[in-house]
């Protein structure tokens, strides 16, 4: 393909309710969308960076800047353009995984639309439907939490993930277990909120039969996670610490994790996410697909990834209405706890023009 131009588009997406984690509260998503135009087709990618550098060092303004100044011009000069060429072309630039992932996804979408192939087929999907879990933020009170969990279970979600932090961990988990029983698939996510000195406290979660505790320690403390794994019974899942197939292999070999959360934006794109899946499958380590409050564009790609054979646990691939009153694509609807994997060319979805125009705050065209 030949790249003719790239559009950077910012959209404002209010959340249906505030989403609180150990690193802050989100009430709206300032989303950066990337649209690539080639001589064969156009494609879309979604940058999952947040407004502030709290979950990671990346944030939306920086992602737009590095795309504009470095990544797009470099890709435009590449002699060969397809999804596999993006990572190699941009390898000279350190980090900026979320910006790179958005650009790679857009190029892949254009390539696959032109060829009439779906994202799921390209990645190696083996399922038409994927099981869905839901991530439940930190609440003001336990009764509020119980009401929220009750509602999600009534909607059909197959797994509940509770965000935790010091002061909001054992009691909320206990309350959910007592109210809904041991049969509910339940896990917790700390988003790096603890230290190894909290091991004895975190061991108090062991009696509740959790699927996993996600990223309890700092992202660079892989050795600490390995030590913590020897001190608690709940399986440890790594999220922020996993930035590539190489770091996944290293963490597994150290005994730092028994499960891996794969977030394509965090690792530079869906092709590297597939490599992580392959590494984990080779080691017998289950993976699941995390979420970053994506719109329907990012959700379509996540659902396709979650249909790979090694994704044996329900992911955070919730229905559109979990986060947005109106999505920018046709909404993803939960059916019997599952979402359908799009089977159309490319991502299988596209922005609805009227909705996209309504939520757009700024656009920028970069000629190539």
pLDDT score, position 192: 96
Same domain, 14 and 92: yes
β-pairing, 133-136 with 159-163? Answer: parallel
Cα distance between residue 204 and residue 197, in whole Å:
14
Per the domain annotation, does 281 fall within a domain? yes
- Residues 107, 112, 115, 121: is their CA dihedral positive or negative? positive
Same domain, 166 and 204: yes
Same domain, 140 and 230: yes
Same domain, 108 and 196: no
Same domain, 330 and 267: yes
Per the domain annotation, does 220 fall within a domain? yes
The beta strands (E) that lie in 211-344 are given as 213-214, 236-238, 259-262, 287-289, 338-340
Work out the angle at residue 253's Cα, subtended by the Cα atoms of residues 260 and 58, and round it to the nearest 5 degrees. 45
Same domain, 143 and 54: no
Same domain, 330 and 251: yes
Per the domain annotation, does 62 fall within a domain? yes
CATH number at residue 295: 3.20.20.120
Distances (CA, A) of 260 to 167, 290, 300, 343: 25, 10, 21, 26
Name the percent of the chain in helix, strand, coil, to the closest 5. 40, 25, 40
Q: What is the pTM of this model?
A: 0.95
Same domain, 182 and 273: yes
pLDDT score, position 173: 98
Per the domain annotation, does 345 fall within a domain? no
pLDDT score, position 22: 80
pLDDT score, position 18: 85
Cα distance between residue 319 and residue 340, in whole Å:
10
Same domain, 237 and 298: yes
Cα distance between residue 188 and residue 206, in whole Å:
12
Per the domain annotation, does 252 fall within a domain? yes
Cα distance between residue 26 and residue 192, in whole Å:
17
Per the domain annotation, does 89 fall within a domain? yes
Same domain, 109 and 155: no
Pull the structure tokens for residue 358.
Answer: 């309504």
Per the domain annotation, does 346 fall within a domain? no
Same domain, 133 and 45: no
Distances (CA, A) of 128 to 125, 185, 307, 321, 330: 8, 22, 7, 21, 18
Which residues carry out catalysis?
163, 263
Q: What's the structural domain count of the chain? A: 2
pLDDT score, position 290: 95
Same domain, 193 and 54: no
CB count within 10 Å of CB 233 equals: 11
Per the domain annotation, does 178 fall within a domain? yes
pLDDT score, position 44: 98
Single out the residue of 122, 82, 80 nearest to residue 344, CA to CA: 122
Q: Which helix (H) or strand (E) holds 68?
A: none
Residue 58 structural domain: 3-115+352-367
pLDDT score, position 358: 97
Per-residue pLDDT of the chain (368 residues; tens, 9 = 90+): 999 999 999 999 999 988 889 878 889 999 999 999 999 899 999 999 999 998 899 999 999 999 999 999 999 999 889 999 999 999 999 999 999 999 999 999 999 999 999 999 999 999 999 999 999 999 999 999 999 999 999 999 999 999 999 999 999 999 999 999 999 999 999 999 999 999 999 999 999 999 999 999 999 999 999 999 999 999 999 999 999 999 999 999 999 999 999 999 999 999 999 999 999 999 999 999 999 999 999 999 999 999 999 999 999 999 999 999 999 999 999 999 999 999 999 999 999 999 999 999 999 999 99
CATH number at residue 40: 3.30.390.10
């Amino acid at each position: 393909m030949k790249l003719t131009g790239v559009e950077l588009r910012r959209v404002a997406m209010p959340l249906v309710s505030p989403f609180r984690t150990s690193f802050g509260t989100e009430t709206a998503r300032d989303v950066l969308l990337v649209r690539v135009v080639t001589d064969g087709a156009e494609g879309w990618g979604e940058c999952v960076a947040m407004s502030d550098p709290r979950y990671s060092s990346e944030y939306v303004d920086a992602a737009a800047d590095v795309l504009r100044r470095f990544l797009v011009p470099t890709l435009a000069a590449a002699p060969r353009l397809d999804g596999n060429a993006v990572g190699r072309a941009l390898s000279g630039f350190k980090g900026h995984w979320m910006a790179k992932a958005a650009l790679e996804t857009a190029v892949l979408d254009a390539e696959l639309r032109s060829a009439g192939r779906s994202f799921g087929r390209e990645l190696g999907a083996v399922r038409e439907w994927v099981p869905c879990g839901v991530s439940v933020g930190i609440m003001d009170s336990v009764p509020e939490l119980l009401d929220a969990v009750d509602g999600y279970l009534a909607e059909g979600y197959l797994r509940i993930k509770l965000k935790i932090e010091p002061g909001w961990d054992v009691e909320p988990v206990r309350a959910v277990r007592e109210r809904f029983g041991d049969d509910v698939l339940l896990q917790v996510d700390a988003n790096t909120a603890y230290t190894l000195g909290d091991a004895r406290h975190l061991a108090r979660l062991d009696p509740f039969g959790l699927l996993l505790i996600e990223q309890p320690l700092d992202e660079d403390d892989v050795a600490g996670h390995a030590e913590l794994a020897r001190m608690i019974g709940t399986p440890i899942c790594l999220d922020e610490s996993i930035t590539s197939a190489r770091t996944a292999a290293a963490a597994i070999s150290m005994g730092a994790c028994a499960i891996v959360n794969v977030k394509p934006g965090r690792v530079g794109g869906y092709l590297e996410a597939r490599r992580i899946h392959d590494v984990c499958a080779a080691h017998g380590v289950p993976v699941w697909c995390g979420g970053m409050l994506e719109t329907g564009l990012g959700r379509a790609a996540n659902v396709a990834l979650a249909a790979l054979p090694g994704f044996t646990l329900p992911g955070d691939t919730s229905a559109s209405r979990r986060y947005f009153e109106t999505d920018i694509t046709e909404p993803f609807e939960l059916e019997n706890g599952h979402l359908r994997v799009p089977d159309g060319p490319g991502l299988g979805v596209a922005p609805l023009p009227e909705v996209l125009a309504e939520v757009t705050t700024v656009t920028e065209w970069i000629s190539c």
